[in-house]
């Protein structure tokens, strides 16, 4: 008998929640399990070789624990680096999240697009190739924001985000450089849609912000349509569990941001750095 698809959503922190919202809409019957490599956060600051090793290590343990039908890498920093390696290494289908440069280049009227991402994603060959392939005719303001993902974590933990610091993090994509202004800004890190209201308030002028989450949810849905879900695996991780790799969690209370996204059980797994 067929059962609900089981999806593992993976990110370094809470950023993948922006993808979760779209997945819950697109696939309301799916069992979602969320894993955050909180011990490794932020991924944007890691050296590439070490980060690939870390992601493979964490994914091996997670797949054994969760046995998902599909993994959504809700993280640009991980996807632009490790998607191919993950697909080579493991059997399960992976859906990645990469900066939405193609739709941005198609939508801009001024011919200038902003790309906000982590310093890691900005350095990636993958990102450069996306720009050369799809936005060669545009001026691209590519910016690696040093602390924006951390600001999103602060907001999700109930803290206040300083508007001046937020503006400093995003302002490099709003430079005019004597030319036309950017009218489309790619949210190239899954944490950033979680700060969309705040960014809209401090942005020097209005732009279209592109969040790839709905496209990722559609892609996941089409992949799952081809996946056999007839296994009756005994798994000891229930749906709506959030798995964290950090030992810093003193209680078994689900952190507020995850609870607000429908995750009501917490599991801490020890995967030291
Ligand atoms: N949410 C992740 C992304 O989409 C990155 C955050 C981090 O630096 O760990 O790129």
Give tens-digit pLDDT for 216-256.
999 999 999 988 765 556 677 999 999 999 866 566 788 88
Number of domains in the chain: 2
Catalytically annotated residue among 98, 138, 187, 189: 189
3-state secondary structure string across the chain: CCCCCEEEEEECCCCCHHHHHHHHHHCCCCEEEEEECCCCCCHHHCCHHHHHHHHHHHHHHHHHHHCCCEEEECCHHHHHHHHHHHHHHCCCCEECCCCCHHHHHHHCCCCEEEEEECHHHHHCHHHHHHHHHHCCCCEEEEEECCCHHHHHHHHHCCCCCCHHHHHHHHHHHHCCCCCCCCCEEEECCCCHHHHHHHHHHHCCCCCEEECCHHHHHHHHHHHHHCCCCCCCCCCCCCCCEEEECCCCCCCCCCCHHHHHCCCCEEEECCCCC
What's the confidence (pLDDT) of residue 229?
64
Could you tell me if the CB of 15 is within 6 A of ligand 1? yes
- Measured in Å, residue 144 CA sits from the centre of ligand 1 at 11
- Does the pLDDT of residue 257 top 70, yes or no? yes
209 lines ligand 1 (CB under 6 A): no
189 and 226 in a single domain? The answer is: no
Compute CA 72 distance to the chain's CA centroid, rounded to the nearest angstrom: 9
- Looking at the structure, tell me whether residues 34 and 169 fall in a common domain: no
**Judgement on whether residues 91 and 105 belong to the same structural domain of the protein:** no
Q: Domain of 19: which CATH number?
A: 3.40.50.1860
User: Is 138 among the catalytic positions?
Assistant: no
Task: Please check whether residue 13 lies inside any domain of the structure.
Answer: yes
Does residue 226 sit in the same domain as residue 126? no
Q: What does the pLDDT look like over 2-32, one tens digit per residue?
A: 678 999 999 999 999 999 999 999 999 999 9
Residue listed under structure tokens 């600001």: 151
Cα 229 to ligand 1 centroid, rounded to whole Å: 30
Assigned domain for 240 exists: yes
pTM: 0.95
Q: What is the pLDDT of residues 128-176, one digit of tens each?
A: 999 999 999 999 999 999 999 999 999 999 999 999 999 999 999 998 8
* Index of the ligand 1 atom closest to the CA of residue 190: 4
The C-alpha atoms of residue 40 and residue 180 are separated, in whole angstroms, by 39
Asked if 154 and 256 touch (Cβ cutoff 8 Å), the reply is: no
Please give the residue range of the domain that contains residue 136. 101-211
189 an active-site residue? yes
Q: Read off the tokens for 226.
A: 């081809």
Residues 207 and 228 in one domain: no
Q: Based on the domain organization, do 109 and 56 belong to the same domain?
A: no
Instruction: Give distance in angstroms: CA of 155 to centre of ligand 1.
Output: 15
Is 154 in the same domain as 190? yes
pLDDT, one tens digit per residue, over 165-214 is: 999 999 999 988 678 999 999 999 999 999 999 999 999 999 999 999 99
Of the residues 8, 32, 75, 101, only one is catalytic, namely 75
In a domain, 249, yes or no: yes
CA of 220 to the centre of ligand 1 (A): 20
Nearest atom (ligand 1) to Cα of 189? 4
Is residue 140 within 8 Å of residue 131, measured between CB atoms? yes
Residues 153 and 233 in one domain: no
């Amino acid at each position: 008998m067929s059962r609900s698809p089981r999806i593992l959503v993976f990110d370094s922190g809470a950023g993948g929640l922006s993808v979760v919202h779209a997945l819950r809409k697109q696939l309301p019957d799916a069992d979602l399990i969320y894993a955050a490599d909180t011990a490794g956060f932020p991924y944007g600051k890691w050296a590439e070789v070490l980060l690939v090793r870390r992601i493979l290590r964490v994914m091996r343990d997670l797949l054994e624990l969760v046995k998902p039908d599909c993994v959504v890498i809700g993280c640009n920093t991980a996807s632009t680096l490790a998607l191919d390696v993950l697909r080579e290494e493991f059997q399960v289908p992976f859906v990645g999240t990469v900066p939405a440069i193609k739709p941005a280049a198609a939508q801009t009227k001024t011919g200038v697009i902003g790309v906000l991402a982590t310093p890691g994603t900005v350095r990636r060959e993958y990102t450069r190739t996306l720009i050369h392939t799809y936005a060669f005719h545009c001026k691209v303001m590519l910016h690696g924001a040093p602390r924006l993902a951390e600001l999103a974590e602060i907001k999700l933990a109930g803290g206040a985000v300083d508007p001046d610091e937020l503006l400093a993090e995003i302002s490099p994509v709003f430079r005019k450089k004597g030319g036309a202004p950017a009218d489309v800004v790619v949210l190239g890190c899954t944490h950033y849609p979680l700060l969309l209201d705040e960014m809209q308030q401090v942005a020097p002028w209005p732009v279209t912000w592109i969040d790839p989450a709905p496209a990722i949810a559609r892609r996941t849905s089409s992949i799952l349509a081809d996946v056999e879900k007839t296994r009756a695996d005994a798994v000891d991780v229930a749906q709506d569990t959030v798995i964290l790799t950090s030992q810093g969690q003193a209680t078994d209370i689900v952190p507020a941001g995850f609870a607000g996204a429908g995750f009501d059980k917490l599991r801490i797994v020890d995967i030291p750095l």
